C-alpha cells in the first residue's frame, strides 16, 4: 500500500509522489513510515531521507533539518534544505566544510560558534550522503 509524500523547502517542492515507505532522520533517531502509520509530527536533524518509490527503487535525499508530519496517509516533510543525493554539488559542499572548519579554528574572531558548527554538520552530511556512507 502507498501513501502520499511531499518534500518541500522554502524555495520549491523537491519531490511529490505516492510512495511505499519513508525513512527520515528524526530528532531522536531515524524513523520509518509505511502506509496507515499513526499520526506523527517530529523535528528533523540533518541526515539522509530515504524514499521507496512505487516501483520499489530507493531515492535518497540530503536534508538539513526541518519537520515531518504524517496524518491520514499524507506525509509532509518541510525541510530547511533538501536535494537529491546524486545532485549534491561536492565541490560546493567541500568548500562549505572548509569555511566552517576555518571559522571554528579562528576562535579569536567574532564568530557565531553554533552557526559554524551547524554549517559544518550540514556540509559533512551532504558529503556523506553523496559518497553513500550515510
Give pLDDT tens digits for 32-57: 999 999 999 999 999 999 999 999 99
pTM equals: 0.80
Instruction: Give residue limits of the domains in the chain.
Output: 3-85, 89-131
Rounded (5°) CA angle 42-44-49: 115
User: Which class in CATH covers the domain with range 3-85?
Assistant: mainly beta
Minimal CA–CA distance to 20: which of 6, 3, 37, 8? 3
C-alpha span between 6 and 15 (Å, rounded): 6
Given a cut of 90, whether residue 110 has pLDDT beyond it is no
Residue 100, classed as helix, strand or coil, is helix
Q: Residue holding cell 561536492?
A: 90
Q: Judge contact between 24 and 52, C-beta under 8 A.
A: no
Is domain 89-131 given the CATH code 3.80.10.10 in the classification? Answer: no
| pLDDT of 127 | 84
Q: Residue holding cell 568548500?
A: 95
What cell does 77 get? 516533510
Amino acid at each position: 500500500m502507498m501513501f502520499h509524500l511531499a518534500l518541500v523547502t522554502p524555495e520549491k517542492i523537491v519531490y511529490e509522489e505516492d510512495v511505499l515507505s519513508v525513512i527520515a532522520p528524526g530528532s531522536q533517531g531515524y524513523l520509518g513510515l509505511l502506509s496507515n502509520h499513526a499520526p506523527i509530527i517530529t523535528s528533523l536533524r540533518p541526515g539522509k531521507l530515504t524514499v521507496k518509490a512505487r516501483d520499489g527503487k530507493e531515492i535518497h535525499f540530503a536534508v538539513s533539518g526541518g519537520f515531518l508530519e504524517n496524518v491520514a496517509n499524507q506525509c509532509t516533510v518541510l525541510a530547511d534544505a533538501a536535494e537529491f543525493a546524486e545532485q549534491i554539488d561536492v565541490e560546493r559542499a567541500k568548500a562549505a566544510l572548509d569555511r566552517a572548519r576555518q571559522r571554528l579554528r579562528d576562535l579569536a574572531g567574532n564568530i557565531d560558534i553554533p552557526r559554524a558548527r551547524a554549517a559544518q554538520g550540514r556540509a559533512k552530511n551532504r558529503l556523506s550522503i553523496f559518497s553513500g556512507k550515510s
